[in-house]
Amino acid sequence: MPKITKAVIPVAGYGTRFLPATKALPKEMLPIVDKPVVQYIVEEAVASGIKDIILVTGASKRAVEDHFDYSYELENWLEKTGKKEILANIRKIAELANFTYIRQKGPYGNGTPVLNAKYLIGDSPFAVIWGDDLVISKKPRLKQLIEVYEKYTDPVLTAYPVNIEDTKKYGILDAKEIEKSVYQVKTIVEKPGPQKAPSRLASLGGYILTPDIFEALESISLGKGGELWLVDAVFELSKKRPLYAKKIEGKYYDVGSKLGWLEANVELGLEHPEIRKEFKTYLKEIKLS
């Protein structure tokens, strides 16, 4: 069985929920304390055994490419000024993985960037993770999915428990548990709400997919909003083979939203070795109504 060593990370979106901040700055470059969101995503993939990162970009996303490249002028300045620890950390970023950048071409929708990567993926299984779905966990979220794939060799989705009100916000899994925290998926009900939700397991970003997903993406019609949706292709594929989901262990942050981004900054700030003591003191001192 081929190992999963490639991950596709779509980063071509406009980041409209963060305008005007994202007018010139890619949303994936918004910092969580002192690291951009996309670096957390890449580090998760690398910690899961991924060696090749395919970033599907769009216009005004040059900052993402620059971030994962060497910055000789900055590195020279850090070296001259004796900032050796910072220099080492900066150089490591470019050496995290083998990076490939392609421009998104085709209809809107999150299926398009995956299809764009077809010629780079070939005949191997691969991972897809969104640039604004952050999961902090002891075992990387992607590693948890890969372990399920290695057992069943079929596509694997991310499942995450949500409260009853959040069933209005996410696609909810209709699935049967076949072993602890592993489910065989019947369908996903899109934002059903409390009355119609088949479970409280949301389908979040993070997939292990097989290369036959490309045939499905090429054959399906455009879906909601006239866009090409990955989930539509996944369920086209599920007509031919089983589909699984792993209920992941970890804390999920929707850092593509203002609230999720603020939550991640507060909670990870409280764990950051440089600022946690002072930050904790500050939070205790301010009066919250």
* pLDDT per position as a tens digit, 129-162: 998 889 999 999 999 999 999 999 999 999 999 9
Distances in Å between the alpha carbon of 289 and those of 7, 206, 277, 285? 44, 37, 23, 13
**pTM: predicted TM-score of the whole model, two decimal places:** 0.93
Note whether 25 and 71 are within 8 A (CB). Answer: no
pLDDT value for 277: 95
The answer for residues whose C-beta is within 8 angstroms of residue 141's C-beta and 6 or more apart is: 44, 48, 135, 158, 206, 248, 250
Nearest by Cα to 9 from 28, 34, 22, 24: 28
Note whether 13 and 38 are within 8 A (CB). Answer: no
Cα four-point dihedral sign 157, 158, 163, 168: negative
- pLDDT of 288 > 80? The answer is no
CATH for 6-150+204-241+251-285, options being 3.40.720.10, 3.30.460.10, 3.90.550.10, 1.10.150.80: 3.90.550.10
Residue carrying structure tokens 């994202």? 22
